[in-house]
């Protein structure tokens, strides 16, 4: 953190450093994507930085404007935006630092060795698939055909063939299939609480005409929730509203059930059979989404003395980047250099899954794509998840 504070306080604008007066937020996603592309393609070595909440005028005077704490809440998730729209994958961190009593934010874009970085899909009419920007001096410009061709030619001259790469699941040999167990999702804490509320609502409905609704509701509440949970008289409308809020109320308990008590750990390995290391490698996998297929998009909180506590920043940072879409799950992991002749684990912290009984006997296909600075083309293929009956 001291390093980021020093950058925010002392650095000056340049190809690897950008200052921005206001946070991006949900209203400036196009600007965020364009600026990240430009920084990633900048002709500098090492990480690059965007300092948000600070500006430098034409005389070189720096002023601090600050960034709201909500900008660090993950809404929007800047890493997920980069994963969705930019290729090859990038690793981005965004942290607050305090300068002169003001909170500013610092984006750190990891060492970008796999240039050029481009838009993977369209974001808008003015930011389309294939667009690429580069930071020049204190500004950004769109890359033309000649600049892109030079990047690709340089990559091809010093490249490793994708045919020399094997990717799969770890074991005595590298496996292409992985069999996982399932659990009973009806035992989720929120689902159990929901069933109890449904019974309470049913009692209120059936006893409404007897004149003893409150008494029956009290007895049912005591039977379902125990005497330690005091009874509160709630209308049917209030009970329905409470039902809608159960997933939020039991979020930590549900995450513990899914990704601690009943989780399946997924690890992958990459085996480089070529003659030289793969430089600055990253792997992306895409799996189907399903209402009985749960993938943790972050590590769950730890249960400690009947309460849930956050994990350490190092543990959180080690978990892969997960982007949950309506029909797919995209996972990205920055691996680094892959040496020759030994399998390397893809995830510093294994991916956490939980499978419901509806998927018993079924199978999912995983599509993978390995990028590297000196890979002639991405190594692509597919694996299978098999769900035990």
* Among 25-29, 211-215, 290-294, 340-344, the least confident range: 211-215
Rounded to whole angstroms, the Cα distance separating 238 from 66 reads 41
Label residues 264-287 b or e (16+ Cβ within 10 Å = b). bebebbbbbebeebbbbbbbbbbb
Instruction: Using alpha carbons, list the distances in angstroms from residue 90 to 10, 18, 116, 292, 320.
Output: 26, 17, 11, 30, 12
Name the residue among 88, 86, 84 with its Cα closest to residue 155.
88
Is-above-0.75 flag for pTM? no
Average pLDDT estimate for 260-264: 95
Which pLDDT value is given to residue 238? 62
Which pLDDT value is given to residue 212? 45
Burial class (CB in 10 A: 0-12, 13-18, 19+), 308: middle
pLDDT digits 0-9 by tens, 138-160: 788 899 888 888 777 766 665 67
358: tokens are 């509806």
Please state whether beta strands 48-52 and 17-20 pair in parallel, antiparallel, or not at all (unpaired).
parallel
pLDDT digits 0-9 by tens, 69-127: 999 988 889 989 998 999 988 889 999 999 888 899 999 998 787 888 999 999 999 99
Rounded to whole angstroms, the Cα distance separating 21 from 24 reads 9
Q: Which residues 6+ apart lie within 8 Å of 176 measured at CB?
A: 168, 169, 383, 384
Please report where in the chains the tokens 């600075």 appear, as a residue: 373
2: tokens are 């001291």
Question: Quick one: fold of 162-185+261-387?
Answer: Immunoglobulin-like (2.60.40)
pLDDT digits 0-9 by tens, 318-341: 999 999 988 999 999 999 999 998
DSSP H or E stretch at residue 18: strand 17-20
User: Which CATH code for domain 2-157?
Assistant: 3.30.950
Contact criterion met (CB below 8 Å) for 22 and 32: no
Domain spans, the chain? 2-157, 162-185+261-387, 189-249
pLDDT digits 0-9 by tens, 200-234: 667 666 655 444 445 555 555 455 555 455 555 55
Rounded to whole angstroms, the Cα distance separating 210 from 204 reads 10
Which pLDDT value is given to residue 247? 78
Contact criterion met (CB below 8 Å) for 81 and 145: no
Residue 374 DSSP symbol: T
Which pLDDT value is given to residue 284? 95
């Amino acid at each position: 953190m001291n390093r980021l504070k020093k950058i925010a306080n002392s650095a000056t604008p340049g190809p690897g450093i950008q200052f921005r007066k206001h946070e991006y937020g949900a209203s400036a996603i196009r600007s965020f994507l364009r600026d990240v592309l430009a920084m990633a393609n900048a002709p500098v070595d090492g990480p690059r930085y965007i300092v948000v909440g600070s500006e430098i005028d034409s005389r070189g005077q720096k002023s601090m404007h600050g960034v709201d704490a909500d900008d660090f809440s993950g809404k929007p998730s800047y890493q997920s935006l980069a994963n969705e729209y930019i290729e090859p994958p990038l690793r981005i961190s965004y942290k607050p630092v305090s300068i002169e009593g003001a909170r500013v934010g610092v984006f750190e874009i990891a060492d970008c060795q796999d240039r050029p970085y481009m838009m993977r899909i369209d974001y808008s009419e003015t930011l389309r698939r294939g667009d690429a920007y580069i930071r020049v001096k204190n500004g950004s410009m769109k890359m033309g055909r000649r600049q892109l061709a030079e990047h690709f030619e340089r990559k091809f001259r010093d490249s490793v063939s994708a045919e020399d790469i094997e990717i799969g699941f770890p074991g005595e040999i590298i496996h292409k299939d992985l069999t996982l167990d399932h659990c009973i999702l009806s035992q989720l804490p929120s689902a159990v609480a929901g069933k109890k509320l449904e019974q309470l609502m049913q009692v209120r409905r059936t006893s409404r005409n007897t004149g003893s609704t409150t008494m029956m509701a009290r007895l049912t509440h005591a039977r379902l929730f125990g005497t330690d949970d005091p009874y509160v008289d709630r209308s049917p409308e209030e009970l329905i509203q409470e039902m809608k809020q159960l997933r939020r109320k039991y979020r930590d308990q549900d995450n513990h059930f899914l990704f601690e008590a009943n989780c399946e750990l997924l690890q992958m390995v990459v085996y480089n059979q070529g003659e030289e290391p793969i430089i600055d490698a990253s792997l992306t996998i895409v799996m189907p989404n399903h209402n009985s297929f749960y993938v943790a998009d972050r590590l769950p909180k730890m249960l400690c003395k009947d309460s849930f506590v956050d994990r350490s920043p190092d543990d959180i940072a080690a978990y892969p980047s997960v982007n949950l879409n309506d029909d797919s799950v995209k996972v990205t992991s920055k691996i680094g250099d892959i040496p020759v002749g030994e399998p390397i684990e893809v995830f510093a912290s294994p991916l956490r899954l939980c499978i419901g009984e509806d998927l018993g006997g079924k199978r999912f296909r995983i599509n993978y794509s390995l990028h590297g600075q000196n890979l002639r083309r991405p190594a692509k293929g597919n694996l299978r998840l098999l769900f035990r009956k």
